[in-house]
Structure 1
């Protein structure tokens, strides 16, 4: 079917290869309609001069209002003004979880320069002083970059990322106000206008079908509150019900919305009635109060359900807008705190916001959920099961490989089912994988309802089996990638089926790098659940062996993996494994020059090693902590910790380590100007090395001893 673009395209897109990062943006709908006024408002706000920092644009709208699609559309049309690239990050998980700014900063840094070394995580993931946030702001200096931050929960996620670079631009989408960032004027999304709604339905359903029933199309748009997501779902339902009139679709949607309202009210019971009564006494009788509480469960007529849809859509933009104007504050922005300085002062434009906001729920009387329910009821069993099970995928993003593992079907069948669900507007298209494999994502607005359906319709054993199958599939893929990248590193796993197979070292490298975040997310999810530690542990081991082979610097990824190993080891009471994980974490901190943090890890490793009665691990932890004190200039503590490690190595008969530690103790004594003790330790080290026959080490220690004696003779 031909797409109508002549009257609906708000501006030309920048070619995909012209600006780096455009391919990272969500694919968005094939057809973009309306939103001319909102795009114009965004363009005007982007040109407004801001002193002291990069400008911040806020696009606010309820789930399903099309805010992500509009943000991507704006980014594609404005990208030419930001030649250094477009960066994209989601700041909320589909389940409403809040992504810390430190994690977002690392993702953005990797997009900005894939070859750069991303700093290790700090102890606290919030705040402007977190290493990743500092590194991002420094990397943006002097650049013109557009940062698109999708689904922001609170200002505390944004303000640590704001660079002191007016040439950059931040576009944040959110469901609510962002308090804590001054000088922003949000663009608030409501429903589409009547013309745009009709054009969208005509393109998705068929122009003839809509033009023959313009009244029915208007009724359907009104029942959907003119929200793009609900309109697309209903268009998918109409395509699957070719004999149903458009007017009947509006009636059917109103009926389902009424059922949803009745079910929700019945489930709440007397407790909800009591809460509502309290709210009636506490609040003045406004339209906003009526919108929040919804209509009564018994009134399921067409007009009442339609009014509920209209009031729901007006609540965010109408009453809230009016309330802000009466208070003299722009909608979505809190009034500036007393004493705020001029715009050039950092305290004037950035300050810690309130506690992180709760996820904005989708009410049961929302036409979006009504449209989803109507569409879901007509799905074939296999498609419905696939859709429910995709909520178990890492980041709710899946390709045919992942989907086939979750539901236990062949990869070609999974590909067909995923495409069918996307055709029905139930999955969003993501950027394809590096090898061109299509990928899809469960929309966050539908995720809570799908989880509820999965818990109701699928047995817990089936859910656990799906998760286990996915982990085992990822383990085999990771091991096969490792075998391709390092054929000498160990036996390859059994060959995978042809649709799953990685065909070359380059293919394996692209797959590992492209799926890295999803692989790490799968491990974190499994370990967080705590019931599949065996499979999760095998995946961690496979990743620790495979990721370094990609050639990309990945200390932050290795750090995350060793932290997960530590979590499993401590949970299962395995102190030896916990000590080894802490030693690895300490080594990564040493490589980053973070000596105090490394020393803390080594001390914790020592405690676990003592519990396991493992003397070699104890000696390793003691030596690591001593090295940190030496780097920090604390020669007294360095000599003490080196001496304790030396005693253990001597008792174990490890003569090579004994000689090394004797030399380290001598260096610490030299730093304290205890030259006689240093001379004695150097000579003891030489004696051990002479017995071992290590001539190279003897030369190095002999040179250090000669240098020491020269200093003593010179009176230094």
Structure 2
């Protein structure tokens, strides 16, 4: 089979000749130590021949074990073997939300080729036959692409994306078992070995504090369970406390872990006033100061959780890969504790590689399926797994607690507020809106939090603006802190400010992309301003998912429908101006409009949203879903007593029946629409519908009725003086009479 030519967009800032897509991977840490055996096992598994579908590798580990960093590291080392590109997508949000495979497929398709016409979603978003998943598998045929699926919740998110292309490779990271795909043997990450832990601490802390106190360094690594995330947090705490001995740091961490990591509140700032009554109109220039923390315990703060087993310390032992077999390792004492919930799926007896067989810590997950029925790739699995929780006495949260207690009030406040950012991804513009501070101050605070390992660095925006992300392992604890220390009015005001900021940015982008549309909003401050049409287009396309996420979050909570509605309107006007607005984006926006309209009891607006959804389905040639939307729009229009909307819905539904070849129903629905248009005195629509009714009669071989309707349409067009319309209808009438005379 001839191999396709890759069209994947290399993205902004990609070096010449680089494999496209590497810039989308999470930023590599400045220091990477250890994991040589795990990398070797993954490389050996990836190098084995495969047939049928693309092979699957799995990296499994508890939060903070470094699975995402290791996956990105592996992707960069083998990228040259996949010249058609590297694709990256996260399959769960920091709050544990599950990304449907259909949405993941659309994101991957856009990375593969921004010009791809991404299909609209189907009735269900979890099946292999969903249009987006089908399109992705077809697009991958004949390519050599590496797909990195980060933070997978369950196998149901993965198997619809697997293409019949053995030249591709899927690397999935997960915190729990992926039961449902045959022959998945994960590489399970435990803690770093003693040497790697010491190297990491020494380089991150700096100076000679670790080298002069190797016993203290070993104690600290043991207290951190040798997990990279906890080690990095403790290194940040030691940098901020230069007079504290390393041994004392280990004792302090053990003490906090023993207490269950109850986080003390950061210093409070003076209180501000309450949210204005018209919170949707709140101006973003208005500052906000931290209010007194509410220290009352909240329901669901983790009390009563069972204490987990002590995590294993040290390095997982990996065996040497055996050609033709899955790489296996020797048993590690305490392995089940190190794996956490992962070990729950490995109980049972059987040979390695068979369902229910024990999973070796270093076993590389490689699938060598033969071509055949795709249903054989998947075995029945459980319902989607719940997010793997981080227990309160986990050393990772103990290290976070120590670091958080020492944060200045402004940094602690921003860290809590960033949990409100869309997809928990932020830049200085977003951060400044959430806390009500100037953009330069927000940029400095974000950089300081990233320096202390409290934020992860993301790929920068198209204009070079740095971007950060709240780590999923810290997100639940930060949400709890926000609920305890920030008053609800503060949180609501921060969300309102963010939405208004996004509305102004989107309207500014529209003014730059279409100057003829009228004057834009009041100019934004210089650090926020979009400088040119090209800058506006890059910003819109780069932030599109975050903008849509912000709208969805706001509408989901239901308390800021005014601001959310203005942002939806601005996006509907602006995204098409980029020339790359995917119908799926417009579809999502109209769905959100429908949600707000139905919630607020506005049938006219709901009918308009349903008509737009139907039009998008019809433009994709999906006539049956379009007809469903049009019929629902008709019901809402009748409740609103809006005859023009009823007429439009009737005509649109008739067009669907006509396209489906159902001439009887088409004639019926066209006739009902015609009666409304005649009552409204809309003569142009009347002539058009008379011609459509005539066409439907012709399809039913009711030639006399068709002749009569064509003549009625000509009479209306004559009164209107529409010569072009008369020519078109006259030609159709002449053709009909010719066929009748010929005995057709």
Normalising by structure 1, report the TM-score: 0.90
DSSP-derived class of the 1:677 partner? helix
CA offset at residue 207 of structure 1? 4.5
CA offset at residue 323 of structure 1? 8.9
Residues 371 and 564 from structure 1, CA distance in 2 versus in 1: closer, same or farther, beyond 3 angstroms?
same
Instruction: Name the counterpart of 1:414.
Output: 442
CA offset at residue 553 of structure 1? 4.0
Residues 367 and 237 from structure 1, CA distance in 2 versus in 1: closer, same or farther, beyond 3 angstroms?
same
CA offset at residue 169 of structure 1? 0.2
Instruction: Name the counterpart of 1:615.
Output: 643
> In the alignment, is residue 596 of structure 1 matched against residue 624 of structure 2?
yes
CA offset at residue 349 of structure 1? 1.8
> In the alignment, is residue 368 of structure 1 matched against residue 402 of structure 2?
no
Contact map agreement 2:175 2:342 (CA 8 A) in 1? no
Instruction: Name the counterpart of 1:489.
Output: 517
Distance in 2 (alpha carbons) for counterparts of 1:711 and 1:54: 56
Instruction: Name the counterpart of 2:701.
Output: 673
Instruction: Using the TM superposition, name which of 50-59 and 653-662 deviates more.
Output: 50-59
RMSD: 2.5
Distance in 1 (alpha carbons) for counterparts of 2:240 and 2:125: 46
- List per-residue Cα deviations over 1:610-648 (Å, max 9, x = no partner): 000000000000000000000000000000000000000
Residues 355 and 24 from structure 1, CA distance in 2 versus in 1: closer, same or farther, beyond 3 angstroms?
same
Contact map agreement 1:257 1:370 (CA 8 A) in 2? yes
DSSP-derived class of the 1:630 partner? helix
Instruction: Name the counterpart of 1:327.
Output: 349
Instruction: Name the counterpart of 1:480.
Output: 508
Instruction: Name the counterpart of 2:363.
Output: none
Contact map agreement 1:154 1:179 (CA 8 A) in 2? yes
Instruction: Name the counterpart of 1:295.
Output: none
Contact map agreement 1:179 1:354 (CA 8 A) in 2? yes
Distance in 2 (alpha carbons) for counterparts of 1:231 and 1:426: 12
Instruction: Using the TM superposition, name which of 254-263 and 696-705 deviates more.
Output: 254-263
Residues 484 and 311 from structure 1, CA distance in 2 versus in 1: closer, same or farther, beyond 3 angstroms?
farther
CA offset at residue 53 of structure 1? 0.4
Distance in 1 (alpha carbons) for counterparts of 2:482 and 2:57: 37
1:70-81 → structure 2 map (5 Å cutoff): 70-81=70-81
Residues 119 and 50 from structure 1, CA distance in 2 versus in 1: closer, same or farther, beyond 3 angstroms?
same
Higher relative contact order (CA 8 A, sep 6+): 2
Instruction: Name the counterpart of 1:429.
Output: 457
Contact map agreement 1:523 1:536 (CA 8 A) in 2? yes
> In the alignment, is residue 344 of structure 1 matched against residue 379 of structure 2?
no
Distance in 2 (alpha carbons) for counterparts of 1:130 and 1:260: 45
Instruction: Name the counterpart of 1:547.
Output: 575
Instruction: Name the counterpart of 1:45.
Output: 45
Distance in 1 (alpha carbons) for counterparts of 2:49 and 2:383: 30
Instruction: Using the TM superposition, name which of 322-331 and 607-616 deviates more.
Output: 322-331
CA offset at residue 311 of structure 1? 10
Contact map agreement 1:156 1:352 (CA 8 A) in 2? no
Instruction: Name the counterpart of 1:175.
Output: 175
DSSP-derived class of the 2:58 partner? strand
Distance in 2 (alpha carbons) for counterparts of 1:503 and 1:174: 41
- List per-residue Cα deviations over 1:483-525 (Å, max 9, x = no partner): 0000111221000000000010000000000000000000000
> In the alignment, is residue 694 of structure 1 matched against residue 694 of structure 2?
no
Distance in 1 (alpha carbons) for counterparts of 2:377 and 2:117: 30
Distance in 2 (alpha carbons) for counterparts of 1:351 and 1:443: 32
Instruction: Name the counterpart of 1:139.
Output: 139
- List per-residue Cα deviations over 1:636-684 (Å, max 9, x = no partner): 0000000000000000000000000000000000000000000000000
Instruction: Name the counterpart of 1:296.
Output: none
CA offset at residue 410 of structure 1? 0.3
1:293-692 → structure 2 map (5 Å cutoff): 315-317=337-339, 324=346, 327-328=349-350, 334=356, 343-345=370-372, 346-692=374-720
Contact map agreement 1:190 1:314 (CA 8 A) in 2? no
Distance in 2 (alpha carbons) for counterparts of 1:672 and 1:384: 73
Instruction: Name the counterpart of 2:8.
Output: none
In structure 2, runs of 5+ residues without a counterpart are 1-13, 265-296, 312-331, 359-366
DSSP-derived class of the 2:170 partner? strand
Distance in 2 (alpha carbons) for counterparts of 1:126 and 1:267: 35
- List per-residue Cα deviations over 1:309-330 (Å, max 9, x = no partner): x999861349976994762365
Instruction: Name the counterpart of 1:124.
Output: 124
Instruction: Name the counterpart of 2:254.
Output: 254
Instruction: Name the counterpart of 2:86.
Output: 86
1:230-309 → structure 2 map (5 Å cutoff): 230-260=230-260, 290-291=309-310
CA offset at residue 48 of structure 1? 2.3
Distance in 2 (alpha carbons) for counterparts of 1:365 and 1:73: 30
Contact map agreement 1:19 1:79 (CA 8 A) in 2? yes
Between Structure 1 and Structure 2, how many residues are aligned?
Answer: 669
CA offset at residue 350 of structure 1? 2.2
Instruction: Name the counterpart of 1:285.
Output: none
CA offset at residue 419 of structure 1? 0.3
CA offset at residue 268 of structure 1? 11
Distance in 2 (alpha carbons) for counterparts of 1:322 and 1:473: 46
Contact map agreement 2:91 2:100 (CA 8 A) in 1? yes
Contact map agreement 1:238 1:249 (CA 8 A) in 2? yes
Contact map agreement 2:552 2:592 (CA 8 A) in 1? yes
Instruction: Name the counterpart of 2:292.
Output: none
Contact map agreement 2:94 2:473 (CA 8 A) in 1? yes
- List per-residue Cα deviations over 1:364-399 (Å, max 9, x = no partner): 111000000000000000000000000000000000
Contact map agreement 2:62 2:339 (CA 8 A) in 1? no
Contact map agreement 1:116 1:553 (CA 8 A) in 2? no
Residues 236 and 571 from structure 1, CA distance in 2 versus in 1: closer, same or farther, beyond 3 angstroms?
same
Residues 122 and 366 from structure 1, CA distance in 2 versus in 1: closer, same or farther, beyond 3 angstroms?
same
Residues 454 and 333 from structure 1, CA distance in 2 versus in 1: closer, same or farther, beyond 3 angstroms?
farther
CA offset at residue 47 of structure 1? 1.8
Contact map agreement 1:225 1:313 (CA 8 A) in 2? no
- List per-residue Cα deviations over 1:265-320 (Å, max 9, x = no partner): x9999x988x97xxxxxxxxxxx98559xxxxxxxxxxxxxxxxx99986134997
CA offset at residue 52 of structure 1? 1.3
DSSP-derived class of the 1:670 partner? helix
DSSP-derived class of the 2:693 partner? helix
CA offset at residue 184 of structure 1? 2.1
Contact map agreement 1:232 1:425 (CA 8 A) in 2? yes
Contact map agreement 1:177 1:332 (CA 8 A) in 2? no
Residues 262 and 533 from structure 1, CA distance in 2 versus in 1: closer, same or farther, beyond 3 angstroms?
closer
Contact map agreement 2:55 2:368 (CA 8 A) in 1? no
CA offset at residue 18 of structure 1? 1.3
Contact map agreement 1:141 1:165 (CA 8 A) in 2? yes
DSSP-derived class of the 2:147 partner? strand
- List per-residue Cα deviations over 1:77-102 (Å, max 9, x = no partner): 00000000000000000000000000
Distance in 2 (alpha carbons) for counterparts of 1:319 and 1:394: 29
- List per-residue Cα deviations over 1:165-200 (Å, max 9, x = no partner): 000000000001101111222100000011111111
DSSP-derived class of the 1:589 partner? helix
CA offset at residue 347 of structure 1? 3.0
Residues 311 and 238 from structure 1, CA distance in 2 versus in 1: closer, same or farther, beyond 3 angstroms?
farther
